[in-house]
Structure 1
Amino acid sequence: MTTFVLVPGVCHGRWWYDPVIERLAEQGHTASAVSLSGLGAHDQLDRMRPINLDVHISEATSSVILSQDPGGAVLVGHDYGGSVITGVADRLPYYVRALVYVDAFVPDDGDSCYSLTDDEQREWWLGDAGAEDAVQPLPHFDPRARPHPRATLLQRIQLTGAWETVPAKHYVAATDWPRQSPFAPIVERVRADPAWTVHEWPTGHDVLAEGPERLLELLAQFETVLEPEEW
């Protein structure tokens, strides 16, 4: 069937995708969420090597290579995960059949999450600088949320542009933000590009809060259909 590699957002771990992965597995797909350094339940940032965006891109790249899907994997990135999947696709465009950005960052060469977001998020990311050099989860986050390595949000990504050759690029824009979405400029940029398909969902930024059905319906269009002689 299809291989899906999913990357979570700021302060979130692979657990965020559990309902999606369970359903995809039931349907016969191969699905895995990347466990990014520093965001595991028992990770202690003050005892780990420095973690930046390049480290996370390398970890996600390894997951794609290990998937060994000859048809190419579908990469899904939520929030910060959008920068990670862009970096992976730029390194391995021939391993990727589709990119799905779920209310996420879509960087160009030289961008960082910090440069792409708004002042409110910048204040959150920098306002609690401490010895861990990590961004603390917001009070309303799931109890499993972990401090996020700050350097991953500040590092400017280096891209060749190869990621843009991935044949399918989809963007999910959550429309139920309590304020203007910090992703609004990104939505308008990709909406103006005919290579992209934009979906508007009446949800908050946590698009899985009401369950995985919307995301599963979107991902279903990337399923590999076997011909009878391949069964």
Structure 2
Amino acid sequence: MTTFVLVHGAWQGGWCWKRVSALLRKAGHDVFTPTLTGLGERSHLLNDRIDLETHIQDVLGVLRCEELSDIVLCGHSYGGMVITGVADKVPQAISSLVYLDALVPEDGQSVLDLLPSDDASSFKESARTKGQGFRVAPSPAEVFGVNAEDQAWVDRRNVDHPLKTFEQPIRLNGLWKQVPGCLYIYATGWSPGIGKPFFDRAELDIDWQAMTLSCGHYVMIDMPKELTQVLIRST
């Protein structure tokens, strides 16, 4: 039995892992899908003080209170920032890291540093004009290549995201690189996508594994069975 901690991306909540977590539990594994502060069912807590460190502490709190160790820690999209910060603080608790079409930061980088400049500008503009200066509205699920049957479901659940989590540079000591296993999963079925530079880097790194899945950005929704198999093999 393996313990999985699955961290969602921007605008989402723990709900997005519903299909994958059910399959993992059916296979006999323990699964935790924390919702980050201000998102999902915790959207009523959204405020202008929430930053990246808040979300890193959210996940660290789950590890501490549930007394978890030897975990597979998976982060989707923005969640790659969060799991990197977590792993840098408690590398001894993690057996492997899985970056699911996710950002992989270096010390001092922010989400806005890692995204195309047009996206970074649109997030700041969204917050300025429609989000009280701190809320970034979600893009339609169609933009992320979500399959047609699930687009309405995703759009109903996605909520505004705190801008500071995109602006705050991550502070790393490099301890996250001590985690013995790192896997990058690149979703190739949406454009322009964010994963290719990180996938290319992972392919050239002997300490990483890299693979692709032919679906949109929300892999856990488009290909839950395939993703579950990949996660189990990553242990």
What is the TM-score normalised by the length of structure 2? 0.88
Which of structure 1's runs of 4+ aligned residues deviate more than 3 A?
none
Q: Do 2:35 and 2:42's aligned partners in 1 also have CA atoms closer than 8 Å?
A: no
Number of the residue aligned with 2:64: 65
Q: How far apart in 1 are the matches of 2:95 and 2:87?
A: 9
CA deviation map 1:62-92 (0-9, x unaligned): 112234344x111010000000000000000
Q: How far apart in 2 are the matches of 1:143 and 1:91?
A: 34
Number of the residue aligned with 2:9: 9
Q: Secondary structure at the match of 1:197?
A: strand
- Range moving further from structure 2, 133-142 or 6-15: 133-142
- Range moving further from structure 2, 2-11 or 185-194: 185-194
Percent same amino acid among aligned pairs? 36
Q: How far apart in 1 are the matches of 2:15 and 2:44?
A: 18
Distance verdict in 2 for CA 1:164–1:45, change over 3 Å:
same
Q: Paired residues, what number?
A: 220
What is the TM-score normalised by the length of structure 1? 0.89
1:195 aligns with 2:207: yes
Distance verdict in 2 for CA 1:50–1:167, change over 3 Å:
same
Number of the residue aligned with 2:36: 36
Runs of at least 5 residues in structure 1 that lack an aligned partner in the other structure: 224-231
Q: How far apart in 2 are the matches of 1:31 and 1:132?
A: 35
Trace 1:39-188 onto structure 2 (pairs within 5 A): 39-41=39-41, 43-44=43-44, 48=47, 50-70=49-69, 72-129=70-127, 130-131=131-132, 133-140=134-141, 141-179=154-192, 181-188=193-200
Q: What's the CA shift for 1:190?
A: 2.0
Structure ranking higher in helix proportion: 2
1:215 aligns with 2:227: yes
Runs of at least 5 residues in structure 2 that lack an aligned partner in the other structure: 142-153
